[in-house]
Structure 1
Amino acid sequence: MMQVSGWFVGAFIIAAVAVVTAARWLSKRNILSGRKPISLVEMYQQDATSIGVSYEVFEKVLDVIGQAYRVDPRMLRLSDKLKALYDLDSWDLGEGTEELNERVAKDFGIVHFETEPKTIAELISEIERQTGVG
């Protein structure tokens, strides 16, 4: 009897991990669907110069987001809603969002935003504003 229940628990755990992995993959695919990688320099020249941020902050924030959520930064867009990344992260029990918050605190010295950013562009702008970099 013990072997059957151990086997059942093991199979259940493997199935649960597979479901979470598949759900995360589908969420990421949905968010990034139809996109092609754009070099960060090109993205900055096309979109970020209009919001008045330095390339240094732009590149670093996109790199931090990419590392936290395990997404190629060249696939991100400034108009992406942070909520979409948070939703993607829910399959990983908030690990990416936690890492993003820790990296923003460590790399930029920011632990609280006066205005909660809703998009990647707003996050970059707010970091630059609060740090005075650029």
Structure 2
Amino acid sequence: MTHTNLREPATGNAAAGGNGKAASDKAIAPSGGGSRGEARADWQPIGYYYNLRGHGVFEQLLQAPGVTAYTGVFATVAEVYPPSDKPFMGGAVMTVHNVVPLDGERVEIRVDTGWPDDLPVRVQLLYWA
């Protein structure tokens, strides 16, 4: 199948292929949620951190009070120096691949430590509830 045969399911329009054509100038509307542009003074920022151990790509389910499946959650990851319990820039290149808020005040994350052996890492979550 060539790129020109691809179609967007919702519109039937040809999907963008790598043919040098510019993307549509239409903005994509939100799929749901939000406050319809209304200011929310009652939202409070919440942050937690979690000390974990892992290597390569691993997944972890975290408790996150106030989170639902519709909460926007940001995550960071850094290596931790155990004697001081402080994050530092080690030799491993770490990334957070997925952050999935779930009902029941939980967040599932997928992290890549970029290292073949277990490392102590700190994952921090930030969200508004």
Decide: shared fold, TM above 0.5. no
Normalised by the size of structure 2, how large is the TM-score? 0.22
The structure with the larger Rg is: 2
Greater share of strand residues, 1 or 2?
2
Which has a greater percent of helix? 1
